[in-house]
């Protein structure tokens, strides 16, 4: 798993913009770097209760991240059209990245191998990257119930610190 100080692996995946079900283009991490801090929020699966709560907490906090010129992206192994419906259904105000080939979750070391004992997904985790792609913050969900408000507040603090460095 990536640690603070590591260089984040570059990747290219589909990005769901959320306008319509087929609002899909290509996203390359290295092309998005350089404009300020970047947040990658890995979630196990769209439409599940925990992931919906987490993404909606980010949605409701986006004004804070926007004020720091931070880019926020959710990332899951769901297919792009499903992510577009999820964005629309939940009114998300940031794009979602589709790691449908499961390459990014392996590169970042955040594989949850047995969701519902059936299939591999992303382990709930958040990385903050600086403009060069260096990991400045990492959070991985532990056991028990997550307080998403507190988790997003900690991510915001990390973004603010990254933005000021």
Tell me if residue 51 is catalytic: yes
Strand partners of residue 16: 24, 96
Q: Cα dist. 135→16, 27, 33, 40 in Å? A: 24, 19, 12, 10
Tokens of 90: 């939940």
12-164, CATH topology level: Glutaredoxin (3.40.30)
Contact status, residue 19 vs residue 92, Cβ threshold 8 Å: no
Check 15, 51, 129, 152 and give the catalytic one: 51
- Residue 129: CB atoms within 10 A of its CB come to 26
Tokens of 152: 């997003």
Task: Please report, for the chain, how many H helices and E strands are present, in that order.
Answer: 5, 9
Each domain of the chain, given as residue ranges in start order, spans 12-164
pTM, two decimals, is 0.93
pLDDT at position 80 over 70: yes
Under the banding of pLDDT at 50, 70 and 90, the label for residue 159 is: very high
Q: Distance (Å, rounded) from C-alpha 155 to C-alpha 160?
A: 9
Q: What is the pLDDT of residue 136?
A: 96
Mean pLDDT of 129-145: 90
């Amino acid at each position: 798993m990536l640690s603070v100080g590591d260089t984040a692996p570059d990747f290219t995946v589909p990005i769901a913009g959320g306008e319509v079900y087929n609002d899909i283009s290509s996203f390359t991490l290295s092309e998005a770097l350089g404009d300020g801090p970047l947040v990658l929020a890995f979630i196990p699966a769209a439409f599940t209760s925990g992931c919906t709560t987490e993404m909606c907490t980010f949605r409701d906090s986006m004004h804070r991240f926007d004020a720091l010129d931070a880019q926020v992206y959710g990332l899951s192994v769901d297919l792009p059209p499903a992510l577009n419906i999820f964005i629309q259904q939940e009114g998300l105000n940031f794009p979602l990245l589709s790691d449908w080939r499961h390459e990014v979750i392996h590169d970042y070391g955040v594989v949850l191998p047995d969701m519902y004992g059936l299939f591999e997904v992303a382990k709930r985790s958040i990385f903050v990257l600086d403009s060069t792609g260096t990991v400045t913050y990492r959070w991985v969900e532990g056991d028990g119930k997550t307080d998403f408000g507190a988790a997003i507040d900690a991510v915001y603090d990390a973004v603010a610190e990254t933005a000021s460095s």
